Structure 1
Amino acid sequence: MQHPSEEALWPDYPVILGMDEAGRGPICGPLVVAGVIFPAGYTNDLINDSKKLSEKKREALFEVIQKDALKYWVLFIDEPTIDRLNIYRATQQAMEKIASLAGADYVLTDAMPLTDRTNFEALVKGDQKSLAIAAASILAKVSRDHYMIALDKEYPQYGLKDHKGYPTRRHLDAIAACGIQDFYRRSYGPVAKIIEENNRLTLF
């Protein structure tokens, strides 16, 4: 995989922060935002957009990235914060927090604009164009998957380890049968609809 973004930037900006997230679409569980800074000139042809890698490859690269990165950050944003801010702003705010901590010469995100930042680019399909963004996508995805697998052990009736919180038919059926727990995002359509239906039933 070629990473033209870093290659073009490193001569002028040796410390480049790349950021990405996992968990914007699921109806439960946290949003996870990660940031990665590699040494200038670093290469690893195995690092790619996390969605294009098998679980086994992501797990292996999860360890490699943490070992090879100069610095990395993984932030978990809880469900009440997502409901309060909305998922877009929750993602943006977490990325702005990492950027403020990183002290990088240049910041790259996967299509997320940041406020009050120079030397910055929001790359469309950034996880396919930037090594650091791709690495951040792996850290975020694997960290979130680990969280959802642990949550599944507490609430096996929801099948969280299989769908990771996405609104599959099986997942929605499980919610209908078992109810809504604290880890659900109440502002998300499928959850809000069930809450509304339950409230309507209690009125009669």
Structure 2
Amino acid sequence: MNSLEELQDFIKSKNNSKNFINASDVPKICRSEPCMLGVDEAGRGPVLGPMVYGVAYCPIKEKKILESLGCADSKALTEEKRDEILLKMLTENDAINNVGWAAEIISPNYISNSMYKRAKHSLNEVSMNSAIDLIKKVAECGANITEVYVDTVGPPEKYQARLSEIFPDYKITVAKKADSIYPIVSAASIVAKVTRDHSLKVWKFQEGLEMSYTEFGSGYPGDPLTKKFIRDQIDKIFGYPLLVRFSWSTAEVMLQEKAANCIFEDVDDDGQTKKANTKPISSFFTSPNENGTKKRKLHKFFEERYLTRDNAFE
């Protein structure tokens, strides 16, 4: 991958209702020299689009390369500057030979389903699991990680203790605003932010909606374009396109106001309708009959939302 266009093409090739990882090759020097690794995220707060976790790593003795790239907190940089820095990481020899990176694109669909499970997974839990999995992936690919720096989720002391237990051989540092303190976390922040930005630019609505990212805005609840999208793009039966985190209060409130109320009727064996009563939709995800009748194939709508006949959200 040597251009932002190739980054977009890679993202477009994936199913955006599911999580996926994009990663560089491990630089040869990172397999032998002790390396530091930074972790940060982008898109934690928006009601639209994915959350992206990014990691960047390089030899401890080569951290000056990060400064020469201009790594700083991605929030303090313009979109053009972030793109420029990531492009350097993708194309310039010094960066390619010394700096590795990886990003997990966490779909809004996965976020919502995690928060609505019976055994609920909070956004903090989703975030920590992604960070842990990315660190493991980089190490499994051969990078010689010895130090890890993380922009915190929740209390830094608690997060650091958890990571230290999982990675006892690493020096772990978890801090608030780590992206503005440690250049390696700044690099991770840029990887995450640019990946999220380009994920939105090439978002393909599986529901068939024809709309450019310039029409639904940044995804943050305060954005006027995002507000308009949440207000206008609601289906009274199926709710929102998969771009929307339907577990967010912004979406929940609108669904309560505009979505249809569903009443399910009981039907006797002879086909006669009983008195109407409200039933949970999970009652329709049933096992085969005792006589061995084959299960009906789930519609794509339910598969994409991880709904099964045994439990509506597992």
Moved over 4 A (4+): none
Equivalent residue pairs, number: 189
What amino acid is the match of 1:117?
F
CA gap of 1:38–1:157, structure 2 versus 1, over 3 A, is closer
Q: Match of 1:102? A: 138
Q: Match of 2:37? A: 17
Q: Match of 2:249? A: 189
Contact 1:158 1:175 in 2 (8 A): no
Whether 1:111 aligns to 2:152 is yes
Q: Match of 1:53? A: 77
Q: 2: distance between equivalents of 1:81 and 1:120? A: 28
Unaligned regions of 5+ residues in structure 2, if any?
1-32, 115-120, 140-144, 154-158, 235-239, 264-314
Q: Match of 1:32? A: 52
Q: 1: distance between equivalents of 2:136 and 2:258? A: 43
Whether 1:79 aligns to 2:108 is yes
Q: 2: distance between equivalents of 1:70 and 1:174? A: 39
CA gap of 1:70–1:171, structure 2 versus 1, over 3 A, is closer
**TM-score calculated relative to the size of structure 2:** 0.55
Alignment of structure 1 residues 134-145 onto 2, 5 Å:
134-145=186-197
Instruction: Quote the sequence identity (%).
Output: 24
Q: Match of 1:175? A: 230
Q: 1: distance between equivalents of 2:211 and 2:242? A: 11
What amino acid is the match of 1:65?
M
Aligned-pair RMSD on alpha carbons? 2.3
What amino acid is the match of 1:169?
P
Comparing 136-145 with 176-185, which one deviates more in the overlay? 176-185
Structure 1 residue 147: deviation in Å? Answer: 0.9
Q: 1: distance between equivalents of 2:233 and 2:48? A: 14
Q: 2: distance between equivalents of 1:86 and 1:159? A: 29
Structure 1 residue 79: deviation in Å? Answer: 1.5
Contact 1:152 1:158 in 2 (8 A): no
Unaligned regions of 5+ residues in structure 1, if any?
1-12
What amino acid is the match of 1:77?
I
What amino acid is the match of 2:73?
D
Contact 1:158 1:174 in 2 (8 A): no
SS in 2 for 1:164: coil
What amino acid is the match of 1:159?
E
Comparing 183-192 with 82-91, which one deviates more in the overlay? 82-91
Q: 1: distance between equivalents of 2:87 and 2:46? A: 25
Q: Match of 1:124? A: 176
What amino acid is the match of 2:56?
V
Q: Match of 1:63? A: 87
Contact 1:34 1:136 in 2 (8 A): yes
Structure 1 residue 100: deviation in Å? Answer: 1.1
Structure 1 residue 203: deviation in Å? Answer: 6.1
Q: 2: distance between equivalents of 1:191 and 1:144? A: 20
What amino acid is the match of 1:17?
L
**Higher helix proportion (structure 1 or 2):** 1
**TM-score calculated relative to the size of structure 1:** 0.83
Q: 2: distance between equivalents of 1:62 and 1:106? A: 22
SS in 2 for 1:17: strand
CA gap of 1:191–1:99, structure 2 versus 1, over 3 A, is same
What amino acid is the match of 1:194?
M
Structure 1 residue 90: deviation in Å? Answer: 1.4
